[in-house]
Amino acid sequence: MSSEALDTTQYVHHHLTNMPWKHAFLENKLGDFGVLNLDSLIVSFLLGALVLFLFWCLARRATAGVPSKLQNFIEILFEFIQKQVKETFHGNNPLIAPLALTIFVWILLMNLMDLIPIDLFPRLLGTVGVPYWRMVPTTDLNVTFAMSLSVFILIVYYSVKQKGLLGFAKELLLHPFPYVWMAPINLPLSIVHELAKPVSLALRLFGNLFSGEVIFILIALFPIWWLQWVLGFPWAIFHILIIGIQAFIFTILTIVYLSLAHESH
């Protein structure tokens, strides 16, 4: 009984451990922070590179005439993103739409990895000596925070660029209470308000995907074989929804935040 419980714990733990890449120098300098999650880096890079390569190939052959079926499909995606950007973002910034597109397709693809049977890649790679492998990069906080922090940097950059350093400072000091004497209260509120953006972006995506992953792991632990389908199948279908919705939410909120950065309240 206890050994079985240990097995279960080990199984769950194994599935929630990233493949580490350690270097003595980095570890000495940075401790635990000096580790690279190879699986997250490789899977996310491969997925992004794959879809961007596809886009690039299509862009080279893109025609204003009758489009191929694939081009048509991609154009629907592009127009969908463009529509979202046009509806939400009223400034003129050529970066927003490509940024939104990249975020959307990248997150969508990384989330989609959740539908691959959870034991498939860890087992396959285990046979060639890779001890840990997590296939879904968005269940790694580093991945979600990398995107949300990048977006946060852009928010701050464009806030300063559009409103000037003074304007941005004013905004931080005079919101939500528009009195100068309230500034000491306004500043911490504003800072929390701004910091909540990247944190909520990252944690929302991570939380949804991580919990989904955990449930897949738990389902995989059921000892009765047919329960795999009875439970796994509906959860996978439900998860398809979550995959799309989370990618969409991250994209839309990015556009909204950057739009706010461009407009003064």
Q: Which two tokens stand for residue 230?
A: 């009875």
Contact between 146 and another protein per CB under 8 A: yes
Q: Phi then psi for 62, rounded to 5 degrees?
A: -60, 135
204 is catalytic: yes
Contact 91, 263 (CB under 8 A): yes
Restricting to residues 150-189, name those near another protein by CB under 8 A: 150
Considering only 35-43, 112-120, 179-187, 239-247, which stretch makes contact with another protein by CB under 8 A? 35-43
**What token pair was written down for 233?**
């199948």
Task: Say whether 93 is catalytic.
Answer: no
Minimum distance, C-beta of residue 49 to another protein, in the bound complex (Å): 8
φ and ψ at 21, to 5 degrees?
-125, 120
Count other Cβ atoms within 10 Å, centred on residue 241: 9
Is 44 a binder of another protein (CB under 8 A)? yes
Of 72 and 228, which CB lies nearer to another protein in the complex structure? 72
Of the listed 44, 148, 159, 208, which one is catalytic? 208
Instruction: Kindly identify the residues of this chain, within the stretch 53-72, that bind another protein according to CB under 8 A.
Output: 55-56, 58-60, 62-65, 67, 71
141 sits near another protein (criterion: CB under 8 A): yes
178's CB contacts (< 8 A; 6+ apart) are none
The secondary structure of 1-41 as a DSSP string is -HHHHHHHHHHHHHHT---EE--HHHHHHHGGGG-EEHHHH
Window contacting another protein (CB under 8 A); options: 26-34, 115-123, 192-200, 240-248: 26-34
Asked if residues 213 and 139 have their Cβ atoms less than 8 Å apart, the reply is yes
200 is catalytic: yes
Q: Does residue 52 belong to the site contacting another protein (CB under 8 A)?
A: yes
Single out the residue of 78, 80, 235, 248 in contact with another protein (rule: CB under 8 A).
78
Q: Using CB atoms within 10 Å of the CB of residue 77, give its burial: 0 to 12 exposed, 13 to 18 middle, 19+ buried.
A: middle
The span of 45-53, 123-131, 173-181, 191-199 binding another protein (CB under 8 A) equals: 45-53
Active-site entry in 68, 72, 200, 264: 200
User: Binding to another protein by residue 74, rule CB under 8 A?
Assistant: yes
- Residue 51 and residue 34: Cα distance in Å, rounded? 30
Measured from the CB atom, the residue of 73 and 229 that comes closer to another protein is 73
**Is residue 143 near another protein by the rule CB under 8 A?**
yes
* Catalytic residue positions, numbered: 200, 204, 208
